[in-house]
Amino acid sequence: MRVLVVGAGGVGDAVARIAARRNFFELMVMADYDLARAEKAVAAAADAGGGDRFAAARVDASDPSSVADLVRAHGITHVLNAVDPRFVMGVFEGAFAAGADYLDMAMSLSHPHREHPYSEVGVKLGDEQFAKASDWEAAGRLALVGIGVEPGLSDVFARYAADHLFSEIDELGTRDGANLVVRDENGEEIFAPSFSIWTTIEECLNPPVIFEKDRGWYTTPPFSEPEVFDFPEGIGPVECVNVEHEEVLLMPRWVEARRVTFKYGLGDEFIGVLKTLHALGLDKTAPVRVKGVEVSPRDVVAAVLPDPATIGPRMTGKTCAGLYVTGTGKDGNPRRTYLYHVVDNEWSMANFGAQCVVWQTAINPVVALELLATGMWSGTGVRGPESFDAVPFLELLAGPAPSGYDSRWGMEDR
């Protein structure tokens, strides 16, 4: 296997650090618009024991031909997209044009319904990619979409729950929460998102999508249906709200459930900031002219906030990604089960030099790549993680090193 990672930011860098300890691939090319950032990721991989299996390159993720040229130049078999979702289609199309398989952690962007954005779906997340599914299948190529942590591990949990825990599923409810705190040099708590603010704005201010078997996909206003969810391993209760996310568009395609939701534990401060950005128009992506310069308001917001890849040393706490499943168990009795994965920032920084949120996102595509390399997972077309057997993934993720990734997951019946 020869892998091209497009994007050497926080998640891409963490991919390199994790993959450096594995031996399932021959070459991993770290590519970024900023060559210096790609070279930094390669150096980190070398320090982690990756040897000479890593190389750096420059790429324009918005240009399919730039991606395709790199694929051909390095004999790449698999392209892992680790850039913002606005670049998904450029990388997706570039991989296909050059005959490589493809993986991403976020799908093609949505576009709200023009007349009824808070009740009806318009262009859904991933629609542009699924429209090309027959082309990928005819070419004998695989596009594995949404294989980060959420989407990704949460979707693997859905497959596991359907196959091994439940006979009927009422709701697949992804629930994400944390107790992370970031402080400045003076020890004062500051506003510093632990993931790309560009992506966070996109997710949180777009109309959230819900799936119901009798209704199909529909939308609600942002931050709808608040609920307090009790997260495990000391995180505790966090208020969660509906957010647009890929799981709701992926899980119903392969897993039978009456309802599918995604709720994110944002907190009052974060919601307040997002509402203010929206009120001021700072969430917009279309460029505006400022003193003769064209600039995107959202890019300005991203530029003035701390880079999520750099906040690890100033961050404390844990992050939890998981799936709350309700329905009827295999024994015929009512069942409520939360399947989850918790990462402590102190642990991820000490062991990988990566903050916990980007590390938790990055480990899952690396596990998936290894399953594809060994033939444990295989297929063609455009497919989500829940279309594959969950057991090999969960066993490899939690298995003791060096054969496994030594990253345990948990399950609580409630």
State phi, psi for 263 to the nearest 5 degrees.
Answer: -130, 135
**Which tokens hold the place of 394?**
């969960």
Predicted confidence (pLDDT) per residue in 157-207, tens digit: 999 999 999 999 999 999 999 999 888 888 888 777 766 777 788 778 889
Please state, for a pLDDT cut of 90, what percent of the chain lies above it.
80
pLDDT value of position 195: 67
Predicted confidence (pLDDT) per residue in 346-400, tens digit: 999 999 999 999 999 999 999 999 999 999 999 999 999 999 999 999 999 999 9
**Which domains, ranges and CATH numbers included, belong to the chain?**
2-148+358-408 (3.40.50.720), 153-355 (3.30.360.10)
Predicted confidence (pLDDT) per residue in 310-342, tens digit: 877 888 999 999 999 999 999 999 999 999 999
Query: What's the pLDDT band for 273 if we cut at 50, 70, 90?
Result: confident
| Cβ atoms 342, 232 nearer than 8 A | yes
Min mean pLDDT across 31-35, 263-267, 363-367, 398-402 is at 263-267
Q: What is the largest CA-CA distance in the chain?
A: 68
307: region left, alpha or beta (phi > 0 left; psi from -120 to 50 alpha): beta
pLDDT value of position 300: 87
> Cα separation of 44 and 16, whole Å?
7
Give the mean pLDDT of 210-235: 96
| Cβ atoms 125, 107 nearer than 8 A | yes
Query: What's the pLDDT band for 42 if we cut at 50, 70, 90?
Result: very high
For residue 100, pLDDT beyond 80: yes
Give how far Cα 5 sits from Cα of 184, 337, 376, 400, Å: 31, 35, 21, 26
Predicted confidence (pLDDT) per residue in 107-151, tens digit: 999 999 999 999 999 999 999 999 999 999 999 999 999 999 999
Residue written as tokens 């708590």? 189
| Nearest one of 44, 43, 51, 58 to 22, comparing CA atoms | 51
Cβ within 8 Å of residue 139, ≥6 positions away: 96, 99, 380
| Cβ atoms 166, 330 nearer than 8 A | yes
| Cβ atoms 106, 361 nearer than 8 A | no
What is the chain's Cα-based Rg? 20
107: region left, alpha or beta (phi > 0 left; psi from -120 to 50 alpha): beta
- The three-point CA angle 375-394-193 to 5° equals 110
**Strand duo 236-242 + 227-231: pairing:** antiparallel
